[in-house]
């Protein structure tokens, strides 16, 4: 076979779709340890956050105090979520750049490289929403009557399916936002600030 | 140093970037079919910007760009990008392969996107890997490759679509002297056998010496040896009015 074969022509967008889907599929399995860590932390934090979020979305006429309590319940998951969404965003940008170097146009490269960024948080969020959608009855009964989660579950309108779908979509979209370069820069600033404050507190105080 | 081609495959005339000319202030470049040319310039001389302008990643503030007598600077953006994708092979300095794929799959990707069947595309990619003497790595994951192999695989990927122009930024960087010599020889032989115009951007005079002709780039200008008139058959369009006369819309925005 000669290398000097005929020059291939540009294929229409529709015939490129199977190749782009195949690529998107190939990006899903974690490639190295860093990917595995990202999958674990993004998945776990999204699963955790999906519980109060789904309850909040399914409930109507929830008192403000209960909503605030749900927000506080989410708080422990937020830093891990933000921290793990950043490497996920970086991997997406790297993949998109490599795709563009392989002569894939910017739009297709962006659409193809996003598969990992959708799948990882979606896996966790689906696990969390399925858990709460199936077990909200027993959980509501098991918790003390005045517990905010129990109050929110009792006031749920019953549209758990809609709330679950909305919750997964919201978590996937927000993970993508947290993975942007702007978010990474903001995270770095927050860390620097926290380190500075930590150092100041650790410094010996004058007697 | 040989005389530049009279009938260039790639012809850049008076490229200015940005509008104040602080990076490029009138770069000329004419490369003919079967020619392997080096653009030599120090760090900060505007090589990477010139490459980005030539492959359509950046838009010049002034000047014109012709590919095989076709005025790319007056084409609408989407048409121009299609020409760049089909006719230009590019090796960026920071070349990347997809670590999720094997080397052969990476090289075959442009062909698969062009609609070629997987087995056929892989077969053709192996021919190019053989040409660059890295066929043993065809089935290896691109994640495990050392940089010199990765660079040659990226060169194979840039050439697998049989482009009319290859633009390569420091293609011999990270290569040992014997490998650099052999890669330069392969690039020259590809220019001769495929009719591809090869343009190598480098800051190493030694690298430039491997190629047929050297164009010096300093302070945003190319040396006078590189400057040629645009092809006589297709007149240079100086204004939008002239473009309209040819029935060509102006596509200056990206």
Q: CA A191 to CA A71: how far, in whole Å?
A: 22
Identify which of A3, A5, A10 has the shortest CB distance to residue B131.
A3
B110 closest CB neighbour out of A5, A103, A105: A103
**Whether residue B175 has a cis bond before it, omega within 30° of 0:** no
Find out whether B104 and B138 touch, Cβ atoms under 8 Å: yes
What gap in Å lies between CA B251 and CA B114, rounded to an integer?
25
Supply A124's token pair. Answer: 């966790």
Nearest to B89 by CA among B54, B122, B59: B54
Please report how many Cα atoms fall inside a 13 Å half-sphere around the Cα of residue A45, on the Cβ side: 23
Instruction: Tell which residue, A14, A91, A16, has the closest CA to residue B85.
Output: A16
Integer-rounded Cα radius of gyration of chain A:
22
The residues spanned by each domain of chain B are 10-245
Residue B158, Ramachandran bin (φ over 0: left; ψ between -120 and 50: alpha; else beta):
alpha
Helix pair A106-113, A13-26: axis angle to 10 deg: 30
> What pLDDT score does A150 carry?
83
| B142-185 residue pLDDT tens | 988 899 999 999 999 999 999 999 999 999 988 899 999 999 99
Token pair in block for residue A71: 């927000």
Q: How far is B227 from chain A (nearest CA, A)?
A: 29
Residue B11 CA to residue B29 CA, distance in Å, equals 6
Q: Return the structure tokens found at B194.
A: 């495929």
First CA to last CA distance, chain A: 84
A21 touching chain B per CB within 8 A: no
Provide the mean pLDDT of chain A.
Answer: 87
Give the relative orientation of helices A106-113 and A115-142 as an angle to the nearest 10 degrees. Answer: 30
- CB–CB contact B86 A7 (8 Å): yes
pLDDT tens digits, one per residue of A15-45:
789 999 999 999 999 988 999 999 999 999 9
Q: Which residues of chain B have pLDDT under 50?
A: 1-3, 224-254
Contact B127 A9 (CB under 8 A): no
CATH code: domain B10-245 is 3.40.50.300
Query: Residue A89 CB: number of other CB atoms within 10 A?
Result: 21
């Amino acid at each position: 076979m000669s290398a000097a074969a005929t020059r291939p022509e540009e294929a229409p967008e529709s015939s490129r779709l199977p190749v782009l889907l195949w690529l998107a599929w190939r990006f899903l399995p974690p490639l190295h340890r860093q990917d595995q860590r990202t999958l674990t932390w993004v998945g776990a934090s999204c699963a955790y956050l999906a519980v109060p979020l789904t309850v909040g979305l399914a409930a109507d006429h929830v008192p403000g105090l209960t909503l605030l309590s749900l927000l506080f319940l989410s708080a422990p998951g937020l830093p891990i979520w933000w921290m793990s969404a950043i490497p996920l965003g970086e991997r997406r940008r790297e993949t998109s750049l490599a795709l563009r170097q392989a002569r894939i146009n910017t739009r297709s490269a962006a659409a193809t490289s996003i598969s990992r960024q959708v799948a990882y948080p979606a896996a966790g969020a689906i696990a969390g929403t399925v858990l709460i959608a199936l077990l909200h009855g027993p959980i509501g009964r098991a918790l003390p009557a005045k517990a905010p989660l129990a109050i929110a579950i009792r006031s749920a309108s019953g549209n758990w399916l809609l709330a679950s779908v909305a919750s997964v979509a919201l978590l996937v979209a927000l993970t993508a936002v947290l993975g942007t370069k702007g978010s990474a820069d903001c995270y770095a600033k927050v860390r620097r600030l926290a380190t500075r404050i930590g150092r100041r507190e650790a410094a010996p105080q004058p007697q | 140093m040989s005389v530049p081609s009279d009938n260039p495959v790639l012809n850049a005339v008076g490229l200015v970037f940005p509008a104040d000319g602080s990076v490029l202030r009138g770069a000329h470049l004419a490369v003919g079919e079967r020619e392997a040319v080096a653009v030599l310039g120090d760090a900060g001389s505007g090589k990477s910007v010139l490459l980005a302008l030539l492959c359509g990643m950046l838009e010049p503030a002034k000047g014109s760009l012709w590919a095989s007598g076709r005025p790319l600077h007056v084409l609408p953006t989407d048409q121009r990008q299609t020409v760049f994708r089909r006719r230009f092979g590019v090796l960026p300095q920071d070349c990347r392969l997809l670590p999720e794929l094997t080397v052969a799959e990476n090289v075959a990707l442009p062909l698969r996107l062009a609609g070629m069947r997987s087995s056929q595309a892989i077969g053709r990619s192996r021919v190019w890997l053989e040409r660059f003497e890295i066929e043993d790595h065809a089935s290896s994951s691109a994640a495990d490759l050392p940089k010199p192999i990765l660079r040659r695989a990226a060169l194979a990927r840039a050439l697998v679509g049989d482009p009319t122009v290859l633009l390569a930024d420091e293609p011999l960087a990270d290569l040992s002297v014997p490998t650099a010599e052999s890669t330069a020889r392969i690039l020259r032989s590809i220019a001769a056998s495929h009719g591809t115009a090869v343009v190598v951007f480098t800051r190493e005079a030694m690298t430039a010496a491997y190629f047929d002709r050297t164009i010096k780039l300093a302070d945003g200008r190319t040396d006078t040896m590189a400057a040629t008139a645009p092809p006589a058959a297709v007149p240079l369009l100086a204004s939008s009015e002239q473009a309209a006369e040819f029935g060509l819309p102006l596509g200056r925005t990206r």
